[in-house]
Amino acid sequence: MIISAQTNGSFSTNSASWTPIPGLVVKVPDMVGEAVLFVLNVPNPYATGNNYPGGNFGIQFAGEMQGPFGAFTYSEQNPSSAGRVPTTVCVAAVLTGKGPTTVTAMWSAIRNSTVHIDSPATLTMIL
């Protein structure tokens, strides 16, 4: 079974704290002991700022941030143009059967930058 969500439109964040990516939430069925793979694919993000800008991407499962996350920063303090930095995060988990729950794609900015998404990004659950 595959369940997926996709963004539609342009979004940005300058939050230093983990924040949900709009539209990237999937509902997990109530199943016990099933292995599941969550994949967050953000193919064309970029960041703007003047202190080595960058962004973090992660996955929140059942209200808890998962350990694996992706991040990027630019090697120039104040880049003259913002190059695209494809980012993919994969998280494996075992469902506990504590009732239906949600998985949410999260992001945050690095060093007061602004992170941008202007092309479709996806959150996929493979069961």
76-105 pLDDT, tens per residue?
999 998 899 999 999 998 887 766 789 999
47-61 pLDDT, tens per residue?
999 999 999 999 999
pTM of the model: 0.94
Question: Which residue ranges form the domains of the chain, and what is each CATH number?
Answer: 2-126 (2.60.120.760)
pLDDT at 19: 98
21-44 pLDDT, tens per residue?
999 999 988 877 889 999 999 999
pLDDT at 31: 79
For 84-103, give one letter per residue: b (16+ CB within 10 A) or e: ebebebebebebeeeeeeeb
